[in-house]
Chains A and B, each alone.
Chain A
């Protein structure tokens, strides 16, 4: 039988090789000499210093990004591509969709709005509140998973990016991120819908574009002070819903395969 070295096969093989390679790392440790310990402590100290410098750069870059986004109205960006609400602003260019999330000044009383409707066969298998302010819930079923994430807006200003293959590269040390030109991304489509009383965006990530291979081609990345702290990889063919709940002061992100089910699930929160 002829084997085709496509991305899927390479990914499976590389995953297996990664597991086998990790096994090579011995369990036992050798003691470090005093000279190596000294060098390593120097490295740790230097890393701290470099990180402080980097944070300063990133803060400056974040301020610049905020200015650029705030001036979105005067940039050559489609008016339809921008939406301003109380606590968020969105900008779309040909390579990236960016949300700027304004911090809430007051914390709300604890609100545990969870979907009252979940598709048949789905089971809540994971619920964790991260230190980074993101609560993650995973609903698992044989036909695929649904991921619900909630990011509190209290006290911090964050940005969120919808990334695709065209969103080239990570942020550099100065926190510069792809800005793009006027237009809309080709690798996914965005539709405005309503979830409860709130405006929401529904993203459909295309299955067949020149950019995609077979998985992990899209991502939703959360930044604080120009540094990304949370990333969700999204496979092609998936759908994502994003909305900001002004009362709960939270950003909601719902990802899965079936757009209709996602919308129904999101609406059942209200």
Chain B
């Protein structure tokens, strides 16, 4: 395929957002509950995830279903991590930022599997830039970063990916 199209229904983002809410809210809650023992925390994570989605919806509404679902997983994970970090701080416990809550299942593709094991921030950046096909500038907007900061994050993510592949015996 040399080209592809992305279309947004003219009825607009509002309807799409409501559809996303209807289709995914309960499933996102089920996902959050896998890692958060408190039902209230899980609901908080989902609410925060939808707030985040609403802020960026004009950029995300055109994503195909698989990419949107992957993005929702990543957002729920990030919100769960925020809550776990907060809980750790409240109880003076250390918190590892590299901690990954939802590692994708292996696919047999060495690079994809290594990418799936990266820390969530790196995974999110790579998913937006290379998985969803956004430009660096657009990725920066979705991550609420400056373009320079997004470029650095992507460079670090690629560096971390290279390291992980080397650790797994690949020559990169």
Contacts and interface: CB of A to CB of B under 8 A. Distances in A.
B153 interface: no
Interface in A218-263: 224, 227-235, 238, 255-257
Given A9-B111, A10-B126, A32-B29, A17 B21 contact: no
B115 interface: yes
Interface in B123-172: 123, 126-127, 129-133, 135, 137-138, 141, 147, 158, 161-162, 165, 170-172
Contacts of B96: none
Contacts, number: 215
A109 interface: no
Specify the main secondary structure of chain B where it touches its partner: helix
Contact of B127 (A18, A39, A48, A227): A18
B14 A47 contact: yes
B124 to A, nearest CB: 10
A51 B141 contact: no
Given A13-B111, A238-B2, A18 B132 contact: yes
B115 A17 contact: yes
Specify the main secondary structure of chain A where it touches its partner: mixed
B111 A3 contact: yes
Interface of B: 1-14, 17-18, 21, 24-31, 33-34, 39, 43, 46-47, 50-51, 54, 57-59, 62, 65-67, 69-70, 72-74, 102, 104-107, 109, 111-113, 115-116, 123, 126-127, 129-133, 135, 137-138, 141, 147, 158, 161-162, 165, 170-172
Interface of A: 1-5, 7, 9-33, 35-36, 39-40, 43-44, 46-48, 50-51, 130-134, 136, 144-145, 147, 149, 165, 168-170, 215-216, 224, 227-235, 238, 255-257
